[in-house]
Amino acid sequence: MQHFVSTLPHYRTWITFLVFLGFFTHLFAQQSLIQNIHNRETTTLNGYWNYIVDPYENGFYNYRYEPFENQTHPAKGAFFTNAKREGKADLVEYDFDKMDSLLVPGDWNTQKEKLYYYEGTVWYKKSFDYSKSKHTNRVFVHFGASNYDTDVYLNGKKLGKHLGGFTPFNFEITHLLKDEDNFLVVKVDNKRKKEAVPTLNTDWWNYGGITRDVTLVETAETFITDYFIQLDPNDPTTIRGQITLDGSNRSNAKIDVNIPELGVTKTFISDTHGRLSFKLNAKKIRYWSTTDPYLHTVHLSTGNSKVTDQIGFRTIQTSGADILINGESIFLKGISIHEESPIHDGRGHSAEDAKKLLEWAKELGCNYVRLAHYPHN
C-alpha cells in the first residue's frame, strides 16, 4: 500500500460532500476521533454477533411511533435493553441470545442469502467482559465503519449516533463499563434516501452491516487523540505537525516528538486547549516516492500516553500540467477501485483485502489509485 499515490476527484461537488460529511460526523459523533487505532493498545470485539432483522423498527419505536430511547424508563420491548422474558405475561418478544449470528466485520448481504437484497434495520448484540489495566484509565469503543445510519448502546444506555458508511467513529464507555456481563447493542440501517449518500440510484452495491473492525481502546486519563505530521511543502528540510490531547490534564502538557533515524527529539508544550503546532529541522530525510516508498518511525508521547506511527515524508505540487513528487515530475498511471474483497464475497475489510487489490493494480502497471467514491479502510 506504500507504493502508490492516491488521488481524489477535483470536483466542487466532492468538496461539498466532504463538508457535509464533516458536519454530520461532528453532529452525531461528538467525541474526538482517536487516530491510528492499529498502533494503540486495543481489545477486539470482532467475531460473531447475535442479530435481529427489524424491517418495521419495532425494537426502536413504541406503538405510537415514539422512540423508546426518549422514555425515562424504556419499555422492555426496546431491543437495546436486551431484556429477558420473566413470565408468560411479560411483553418481551425477542431474545438476542437465541438468535442467529453474523460475523463482524462483514456485510449481511453476502453472509445470509435471505438478506442479500435487504435494505433496512438490523440489530447487533455482543456480550463481553473487560477489566481496565489501571483504575484511572479510560476506555472507548471504536468502529472502523458501519453502513449507514448507526445507533450505539451499551448496557441499555445510548452512547450516540453516527451517519456515514465509510468513516470511523468512537464513544467513551468508561462510565458504563463493568468487569463482567457488558452488552453492546448496535442498530444499523442501510436504507437509501433521495437526499442522502448513497442516494436512491447509485453505482455501487449498498452493503449493510458493521463492515469494519470494532475495538475497545484503553487510554491514559490524558492521551494523544489526534495528530497530523508531514513535510513542509515549501521547505523539504522541515517537518511540521499538529497534536491534540484529550483529558483533564491536557493544558500546558509536555509532549515529546522523537524520530530516531533523523536524530530528532524535541519537547513541546500544549496550549490551554491541549493543542500545539510544531516545526522540526531535519536534513537527512529519506523522501518517500513511488520507487522508494520509505517510512520513518515517529514516536509521540506525553505522560503515560505514547503513540508510534510510520510516516512517509514527501511533497506533492503542480507546475503547469505537471504533477511533482519531491520536486520531480511524475507520470501517473492508475485505475479507480472499490473496497470489494478479492478474497471472499462482499465488502473488503482486512489488510489482506487491500494488499491484494493494490498488488493487482501494480501488476497492471499502476503507480496511483483513485479510491472510489469514499474513504477506504
Domain 32-219 in CATH 2.60.410.10: no
C-alpha cell belonging to residue 318: 503542480
| pLDDT attached to residue 277 | 97
Burial grade of 119 (CB within 10 A; 0-12, 13-18, 19 or more): middle
Q: Which of 297, 293, 304 is nearest to 326 (CA)?
A: 293
C-alpha cell belonging to residue 82: 436486551
- For 223-317, which CATH superfamily applies? Immunoglobulins (2.60.40.10)
- CB of 82 within 8 A of CB of 184? no
Amino acid (one-letter) located at 194: K
Burial grade of 89 (CB within 10 A; 0-12, 13-18, 19 or more): exposed
Q: Which of 55, 125, 58, 106 is nearest to 208 (CA)?
A: 106
C-alpha cell belonging to residue 27: 453532529
| pLDDT attached to residue 250 | 96
- CB of 198 within 8 A of CB of 192? yes
Say which residues have a Cβ less than 8 Å from residue 158's Cβ, sequence separation at least 6: 69, 80, 151, 152
| pLDDT attached to residue 10 | 38
The pTM score is 0.91
| 239 SS3 class | strand
Amino acid (one-letter) located at 324: L
Q: Kindly report, as residue ranges, where domains of CATH 2.60.40.10 are found in the chain.
A: 223-317
| pLDDT attached to residue 202 | 78
- Rounded Cα–Cα distance for residues 101 and 368 (Å): 38
Per-residue model confidence as pLDDT tens for the chain (377 residues): 456 665 443 333 343 444 444 444 444 445 789 999 999 999 999 999 999 999 999 999 999 999 999 999 999 999 999 999 988 888 899 999 999 999 999 999 999 999 999 999 999 999 999 999 999 999 999 999 999 999 999 999 999 999 999 999 999 999 999 999 999 999 999 999 998 877 888 778 899 999 999 999 999 999 999 999 999 988 999 999 999 999 999 999 999 999 999 999 999 999 999 999 999 999 899 999 999 999 999 999 999 999 999 999 999 999 999 999 999 999 999 999 999 999 998 999 999 999 999 999 999 999 999 998 899 99
- CB of 268 within 8 A of CB of 248? no
| pLDDT attached to residue 3 | 60
C-alpha cell belonging to residue 338: 472499490
Cα end-to-end distance, the chain, whole Å: 12
| 362 SS3 class | helix
DSSP conformational letter for 40: S
- Rounded Cα–Cα distance for residues 56 and 36 (Å): 37
The pLDDT tens digits of the residues spanning 278-313 come to 999 998 999 999 999 999 999 999 999 999 999 999
Q: Kindly report, as residue ranges, where domains of CATH 2.60.120.260 are found in the chain.
A: 32-219
- Rounded Cα–Cα distance for residues 97 and 111 (Å): 19
- CB of 353 within 8 A of CB of 107? no
- Rounded Cα–Cα distance for residues 172 and 150 (Å): 16
In the block, cell 513542509 appears at 232
